Structure 1
């Protein structure tokens, strides 16, 4: 499947095989197909690139291809995809219970990090790291001052029984909070475009204002929504504006 679609025959092909098999199963059950968005998984980036951009050489998945790569981290893969997998029937009861337990732990860790640390202990820890003490500092503030979560755990006797990978995931969330919020805002903008579907029978040749190249590309690729359409090479912002006007007029007819 990977080589037919223009990718390598390694992980990229395996990812496509997984989605193809899953969607075949969903179709047999009379359910809609699973289409992962670019902000949900690298599989979503890969498939969207193949559909909207095509490829002249074997496609390899690289983090640089994903505009939301800060959200597509290894440490939050379970948070991003387990619930989707459960809805599709890919996640067993045992794995689901384990996920819920880990999700609860992660939430409790983040809640604790937002609490105030003991002033005396915090002052000593910051001084040891050459940092200035501020009254009322939280555990999250200590993380942002480049104090590792493992050290905070040890000094304040916190997070007993919590696996290290959950602690490191929470640490990442806190340290990069500003960047992650920016990515979240960009994701919301993209989702709004993804939520504007394009009719499957739309006749691009009869839409006034579309450039010839855009008409040809849109007619050949047939994007599912405006978000996918704006990622097609040869379709510019003016073409997207024309499509938005077309959809608005169609809604009011």
Structure 2
């Protein structure tokens, strides 16, 4: 009888200790999350903050959403900074990193989440769309990483949010996204090799169909996207946030130069 009581009360306590350790493993770290005001970016910002990191998040439009994310982080006892940055402009990424350093005292984790989504027949792709996709999804990632690496020390993390299109293009109309997100692979491998001796890792998280306002689980193409996954369902933004948190934390210290697919088996 006593043994039963001891088991009943000991196990929850152990779980609480494990959960507390998990949620505090980024204490003292500073993270910049680009595109952190909604969807995956907001989930990543919130998750890293709950694990102890101070958060800077960028937005292009919708300052109210960005400030709401920051307000919640601060209400939970964290620190947050909101930065307006259109990453299509060459100077914006570096400025966002430098502002993070000024306002929060440094940068340990860079999450390149911002992206520009457009799709359509390749014959109809405009030069302006091509330029903006490459500017936001590739150039800004390089420039943010370049600037962040100057401030990071041992244990620095550069994490980019890619796409399941890296490994599987399900049909026509996705040429720009497949091209831009695939470019992150070469960039990340190069960063991993060059920054590895400094103790800085570089990785990618590749989401599959994720339920956000940009790709809702009840959207016009949702059933088709679900059919391409092994699990037969959409993921949630928190699934991506959990993967980013793993790579940003102690568990990710020996992971670099590679991609982590969080896609429900989309590329299986």
Which TM-score bucket, shorter chain as reference? under 0.3
Give the TM-score taking structure 2 as reference length: 0.22
More strand by share: 2
Which of the pair has more CA radius of gyration? 1
- Structure with bigger helix share is 1
RCO (CA 8 Å, sep 6+): is it higher in 1 or 2? 2
